[in-house]
Chains A and B, each alone.
Chain A
Amino acid sequence: MSIRHGLLALLSRGPRHGYQLRVDFEASTGATWPLNVGQVYTTLARMERDGLVEPGETDDQGRVVYALTEAGRAEMERWFTTPVVPSDRPRDELVIKLAMAVAAKEVDVAEVIRRQRTATMRTLQQLTRAKRDSTEGRAQLLVLDSMIFQAEAEQRWLDHCEAVLKEAR
């Protein structure tokens, strides 16, 4: 995903200027992806060059309001109708670390798992607390939920590793 796709989605709600887009972006994604307003304007300039947005009127503070073009709408639609493939995600350090712990000599893998499990549970507790106390909108809550599901998956995977290694002993 790129910033431009996010901006296309936000602009589908109606014309907006750069600062407003930045606020909307963070309100939707939470603290997971902070943007500075410079990134937003640079991206908008490229999108204008590529014909995805067009500048409209200037508001009373001299800010240019951008709107989606037909091509922009089509690009947004293409983005939402194309599933994400995991191939370009970065490698997970924990996965590599555990694989290496098994491969290495004189490493207590069970202990590595035990420490990680407790650390991951602490993360999960923090995320759950953030979710419980959240007063933000639905989009941000779903971002938190995603992080909770990921931490949960890691925890389950660690339990699985422990069981597999115990079996093998």
Chain B
Amino acid sequence: MTVVALAGVTRVHGDGETAVHALKGVSLQVGEGELVAVMGPSGSGKSTLLNIAGALDRPTSGTVHIDGRDLATVRDLAALRRRSVGFVFQDLNLITSLTAAENVMLPRELDGVRSRRARAEAMAVLTEIGAESLADRFPDELSGGQRQQVAIARALVGERRLLLADEPTGALDTLAGDEILRLLAARCAAGASVLLVTHEPRYAAWADRVVFLRDGLVADATDVPMASAR
């Protein structure tokens, strides 16, 4: 099953002579249980792509489906996001006055889920990723890698099975970064879908499929068969 599908997506910022064509016709699908990495230099359109795939932004033209729903027909994108999409960013945005478990609970409480149930769900997802021992610690008491684990738990809490990650390994050393990718790959094996944006080849290589974005277009992808000519 396809969890996110972009078809012929363009995105133009501004208009007239100063218009920036961030995406010039991108088609991309992420299936259930799939880890897809998008690689590209800054300015290639990868952040715009992620924002559109996560319903943070709408395309100028083309279509986006999340869980089979055409975003053009969805009025309340925020509600759709809360139910379907989790985000993990480089600056992880954990709230420092809340414990790890409380941070993970937060999106569920915003959804109107009662505290007791939200906590149970938070503990369930923290346990799933092997981070239950971090539950009662504050972000300041966690390492960079551990904080990112908590951010991933928060992105997956509740029913959400789509995770969009923008340079989630940014500030981490390679050992901690590899652990984050190991975790994301494991969540995919358990049925989640991940769209990962990175400029680091070593992390992209954890993906089932790597898509290279250049100047707003898909330049190449690793799932296209190609003869080796080295």
* Contact surface of A with B, Cβ cutoff 8 Å: 93-94, 114-122, 124-125, 127-128, 132, 148-149, 151-152, 155-156, 159, 163
A51 CB to nearest B CB, Å: 42
Nearest A residue to B220 by beta-carbon distance?
Answer: A118
Given the complex of chains A and B, what is the CA–CA distance between A121 and B228 in angstroms?
12
Contact assessment for B205 and A115 in the assembled complex, using a CB-CB cutoff below 8 Å = no
Contact assessment for B201 and A115 in the assembled complex, using a CB-CB cutoff below 8 Å = no
B173 CB to nearest A CB, Å: 13
Nearest B residue to A156 by beta-carbon distance?
Answer: B201
Contacts of A127 in B (CB 8 A): 205
Q: Kindly state whether residue B41 has any CB partner on chain A within 8 Å.
A: yes
Q: What's the interface size class on B, roughly?
A: 20 to 34
Contact assessment for B41 and A163 in the assembled complex, using a CB-CB cutoff below 8 Å = yes
Contacts of A155 in B (CB 8 A): 201
Contact assessment for B220 and A125 in the assembled complex, using a CB-CB cutoff below 8 Å = no
Contact assessment for B202 and A116 in the assembled complex, using a CB-CB cutoff below 8 Å = no
Contact assessment for A128 and B41 in the assembled complex, using a CB-CB cutoff below 8 Å = no
Contact assessment for A124 and B226 in the assembled complex, using a CB-CB cutoff below 8 Å = no
Contact assessment for B182 and A125 in the assembled complex, using a CB-CB cutoff below 8 Å = no
Contacts of B210 in A (CB 8 A): 121, 125
Q: Kindly state whether residue B123 has any CB partner on chain A within 8 Å.
A: no
B26 CB to nearest A CB, Å: 17
Q: Kindly state whether residue B207 has any CB partner on chain A within 8 Å.
A: yes
Q: Kindly state whether residue B89 has any CB partner on chain A within 8 Å.
A: no
**Given A118-B220, A118-B226, A121-B222; A132-B205 close (CB under 8 Å):** no
Q: Kindly state whether residue B19 has any CB partner on chain A within 8 Å.
A: no
B184 CB to nearest A CB, Å: 12
Q: Kindly state whether residue B110 has any CB partner on chain A within 8 Å.
A: no
Contact assessment for A114 and B220 in the assembled complex, using a CB-CB cutoff below 8 Å = yes
Contacts of B222 in A (CB 8 A): 118, 121-122, 125
Q: Kindly state whether residue B206 has any CB partner on chain A within 8 Å.
A: yes
Q: Kindly state whether residue B185 has any CB partner on chain A within 8 Å.
A: yes
Contact assessment for A128 and B206 in the assembled complex, using a CB-CB cutoff below 8 Å = yes
Given the complex of chains A and B, what is the CA–CA distance between A8 and B64 in angstroms?
61
Q: Kindly state whether residue B3 has any CB partner on chain A within 8 Å.
A: no
Q: Kindly state whether residue B219 has any CB partner on chain A within 8 Å.
A: yes
Given the complex of chains A and B, what is the CA–CA distance between A152 and B181 in angstroms?
15
Contacts of B212 in A (CB 8 A): 114, 117-118
Contact assessment for A121 and B182 in the assembled complex, using a CB-CB cutoff below 8 Å = no
Q: Kindly state whether residue B230 has any CB partner on chain A within 8 Å.
A: yes
